[in-house]
Amino acid sequence: MGFVVWIDLILFFVLFALFVYIFVSVNITNLHKVYLAFHFTMMIWPFCQFAVKTTDNSTYQLFYVKAAFVDSALLSTGWIFFTILLTGQTRFLRRRTMLLLSVPAVLASAGVIANPHSWFVQPVNGGYIQRTYGPFFWLFITVVIIQVIISLYVISAALTQNLVPRVRTQVMLVLKGILTVTAFILLDILLNVVLDRYLPVIPGMTSLGILLSASFFVVSINRDKVFDIVTIAHQDVMDTIGHGILVLDEHDNVVEINRFLSPYMHLHRGEPFDIGIIFPEGTPGVESFIQAYREHPLERSEIEIFHTFIQRYLNIQAAPIMISGSRVGRIVTFQDITELQRLIHETNHQNKILQERNHSLIEVQKELFETNRQLQQMAVTDSLTGCYNRHYLTQHLEDEVIQNREAHISFALILLDIDFFKTVNDTYGHLAGDEVICQTVEVLKQELRPTDVLARYGGEEFIVYMPDTRESEALRLAEHVKTQVEWNQIAIANTAGPVSVTISMGLLTINDFSRKTSLFEEVDQALYQAKHKGRNRIVHIAR
């Protein structure tokens, strides 16, 4: 085998050496672990490119070719997720988005492995050391290019943000790596695929691009410590966070104190910390907090105080730092809740005002409800007697009659008139007449049943609706009412003795529901007959 055959293997060993160098020379963080996995994926391509040239077995050759391209599909997808992770574009790490980004690579890899009808790759002279590519190869390359474009989009989105210099260096590192490997891949396709008829095969193009891309990372990892960003940024986070943070070891010695607390606590790393020094004298509730802090170090403690020295409300929390079930220290946080307290007090004040206004509105609503109830009552009530008026009865009776007809329930109507009422007015005056009407109504109310409805029909005429009443019951009740009115003695001022009156009554009982006639006309006709026949009597019409 000539030197050309060994180029990919040499590049593989260089990549492997870089892999080992990173592994042994840095403190491995999560980002380093991700990069090492990514670096390992980059090593597969040159190895497979070398391996395909070391065997004459076409089956093995095809296997190595497929493995190399499946690896490139994984590599292009890995670029996307590696780019997202390094640039901090966590919005792209949703499950649905990750699935959409992974599906094209999976499908492309399936097509490479299946190689249906040799649409991906075909052998030349019975082997795959020299080979020709079919239409599926170009589809595969399109998928890879699209994934590169997605990676570049993620990088551009990161660069538009206001990044700190170290993070921007990290993003630019990713950009250089992608552009380098992409350029060599495109150059490899141009020279060894598109122009393969006109030029000799130039080995190791893609492998060299992968090596150069990896070199960017290795130099930056060693020189710029870009993958130590989490560790390096730790103090920046501590100093820029809007709360005070105090980290203590298991003996309550200061391990870390952030910039927020520096103006208020003159503490240095290694100094002992006494929880009691942070509270002004006389602060309520402090004793129980300090006792819980000292006697129960494995439990979280919390207190809200008004610090008289700095004139601020503070929420102070102390929580243990646990590793493998053992307490190795404690973290104490100080949160300024002055604005929150102000908002709470203002909200409580506004709520109190609203409650007072709501109470006033409720009282007004009660008054309006009572007024409306009285108005509604007045609308259906006769002002003199207090019984229902004619309007109410006609409305009520209409609904009742419809229901009674549908259910075939018997009912009765009584239309009554005070006999010779004009004589009472002429003899004793209209005020006496009003008294006679009111006293007569009282008798009617006492003798009628609770279900009966009494209404003033007009003047001295009244109408009684008796629901669910048969003919015999209606006659008995009418006779009883007539008798009681006749026996009633009405005392009238400025008269020698009591006055008594009689009533004439028209009684209509309904048992036949097939006829639809005017009830008021029929009962009025019955009353007319009672008056015509001499008054103080009942005329009954049944139908």
- The residues that are catalytic are 460
* DSSP structure class, residue 356: H
Cβ atoms of 146 and 104 closer than 8 Å? yes
Give the span between the Cα atoms of 543 and 528, in whole angstroms: 18
Length of the chain (residues): 543
**3-class SS of residue 85:** helix
Give the burial string for 400-410 (b: 16+ CB within 10 Å, else e): bbeebeeeebb
Q: Which two tokens stand for residue 130?
A: 């020299």
Q: Which two tokens stand for residue 239?
A: 């100093």
* Sequence-separated (6 or more) residues with CB below 8 Å from residue 318: 275, 293, 300, 301, 302, 330, 331, 332
Question: CA angle, 542 as apex, 450 and 518 as ends, to 5°?
Answer: 85
* Sequence-separated (6 or more) residues with CB below 8 Å from residue 541: 506, 507, 508, 509, 522, 523, 525, 526
Give the burial string for 301-331 (b: 16+ CB within 10 Å, else e): bebebebeeeebbbbbebebeeeeeeeebbe
Cβ atoms of 136 and 111 closer than 8 Å? yes
Give the span between the Cα atoms of 353 and 351, in whole angstroms: 5
Match 């030197």 to its residue by tokens.
3
DSSP secondary structure, 112-169, as one string = HHH-GGGSSEEEETTEEEEEEE-HHHHHHHHHHHHHHHHHHHHHHHHHTS---HHHHH
H/E segment holding residue 315: strand 312-323
DSSP secondary structure, 385-416, as one string = T-SEEHHHHHHHHHHHHHHHHHHT--EEEEEE
Cβ atoms of 522 and 411 closer than 8 Å? no
